[in-house]
Amino acid sequence: MKFRLTLTLAALMIAGTAHAAPAECSIDVEGRPGKQFGPDHIVVPASCQEFTVRLIHTGKNSKEKAGHNWVLTKTEDIDAVMTDGIQAGANNDFLKPGDARILAKTPMLRGGETATVTFPVSRLRAGQSYTYYCSFPAHAQHMRGTLVLQP
């Protein structure tokens, strides 16, 4: 009886694994105290249909004091997106509403919060440099990373 139960549990665990999203099509990104993203480089496999980023704010501050989000743009767009975002203000998470240059984004989080964003990989092109950053004022200088599509 005990042996059979063990087998059943093992089968359930295998079934659970099979239903989970492929690990390489998702990644956890930590927004850390000291305005750091970990990791600061992401490689998206072209074999993925969609890619999911789970942002974890590992700090303790409020959203107003030191919020973190994860915003993806082409590297050449980031300066203009940031300039427009600062003008859009805190009510818009420092992002211009409807900005088509923003390829993916999470909400602004406070310490301890987690958010997930999933975007179609067809949005990315091989050979194009992408940058992700936190749009909270004065965070982006340090709080940014690069993303590429792996052909």
Binding stretches for Cu ion (CB under 5 A)? 68, 134, 136, 139, 143
Residue 48 vs 59, nearer CB to Cu ion: 59
Q: What angle do CA 131, 102, 79 make, to 5 degrees?
A: 55
Q: Which is nearer to Cu ion, 45 or 107 (CB)?
A: 107
What 3-state class would DSSP assign to 29? strand
Return the residue nearest Cu ion (CB atom): 134
| Nearer residue to Cu ion within complex by CB, 68 or 96 | 68
Pairwise CA distance, residues 114 & 57, whole Å: 6
- Toward Cu ion, which CB reaches closer, 48 or 108? 108
Please report how close the Cβ of residue 138 comes to Cu ion at its closest, in angstroms: 9
Q: Least Å distance between CB 140 and Cu ion?
A: 8
CA angle 50, 52, 55 (to 5 degrees): 165
Report phi then psi at 95, rounded to 5. -135, 135
Kind and range of the H or E element at 12? helix 2-19
In the complex, what is the shortest distance from the CB of residue 31 to Cu ion, in angstroms, rounded to a whole number? 6
Strands (E), the chain: 26-32, 36-38, 41-45, 50-57, 71-74, 104-105, 114-120, 130-133, 144-150
Instruction: Give 101 or 110: the residue with its C-beta nearer to Cu ion.
Output: 110
